[in-house]
Amino acid sequence: MEASPRSIAELVVQLGRITHGCGYSEGLSPAQWSALRYLSRANRFSRTVSAFAEFHATTRGTASQTVKGLVARGYLNRTRAPHDGRSARLEVTDNARAILARDPGEALVRAASALPPSARNRLATGLERLLGHLVQGCHKRPFGVCTSCAHLEVTGWGREGKPRFECAFFGELLEESELAQVCINFEPGKDSAMKRAFS
């Protein structure tokens, strides 16, 4: 029997509710866990209160209070952004990395890992499309990673024949480790520089 759009929507919402309900752990709230997860995966341009607020679909004031609590507990450090003295960049501390090893959200990861690879691939593709439609319909900013972003450019080739990548949005070179990090300035690219570099 074919699944109805409503039943799919209800399943997604229920997954979110159950995951949220498991998020009261280690003395942190679900919002604080969400902040730690996001900031541990975000690139240097996206580790700000404003970026987290957009990602978490909440107000800047609410996000600021969430972050303030994490700074007070020693899970985040706040530093001035190098290019804009008015904004602060957030860095995850070693204490936060240690507590993330006990992230209650891993229950959902384990549930996903129980699916066969082919089912995981189909589910990921379907959820990405669903999220894309929702983001567009609600006029929200899409988040993504450099490897599939239109702003990613190849600026030449380095040692050992490895390509050098740059974010054209910021005009800054990127480390290889940054290419898989989440970015607030993500722009979906039909033909990413990553594909062109290795084609």
pLDDT given at position 84: 62
pLDDT band with cut points at 50, 70 and 90 for residue 191: low
pLDDT band with cut points at 50, 70 and 90 for residue 85: low
Instruction: Say yes or no to pLDDT of 78 above 90.
Output: yes
pLDDT given at position 58: 92
- Distance between CA atoms of residues 86 and 43, nearest Å: 19
Instruction: Say yes or no to pLDDT of 1 above 60.
Output: yes
φ, ψ for residue 84 (rounded to 5)? -150, 100
By CB atoms closer than 10 A (0-12, 13-18, 19+), residue 34 is buried
User: What is the rounded average pLDDT of the residues 95-101?
Assistant: 96
Q: Which is higher by pLDDT, 193 or 60?
A: 60
Q: Which is higher by pLDDT, 85 or 144?
A: 144
- Interval 120-179: pLDDT, tens: 999 999 988 888 888 888 888 888 898 888 899 988 887 777 888 999 998 999 988 899
pLDDT given at position 54: 92
- Interval 5-61: pLDDT, tens: 899 999 999 988 998 888 899 999 999 999 999 999 999 999 999 999 999 989 999
Tokens of residue 53, six digits:
């607020």
pLDDT band with cut points at 50, 70 and 90 for residue 116: very high
- Distance between CA atoms of residues 179 and 166, nearest Å: 10
Q: Which is higher by pLDDT, 139 or 93?
A: 93
CA 22 to chain centre: 20
Per DSSP, helices labelled H in 115-173 are 117-137
Q: Which residues of 79-106 are buried (b: 16+ CB within 10 A; e: fewer)?
A: eeeeeeeeebbbebbeebeebbeebbbe
pLDDT given at position 141: 80
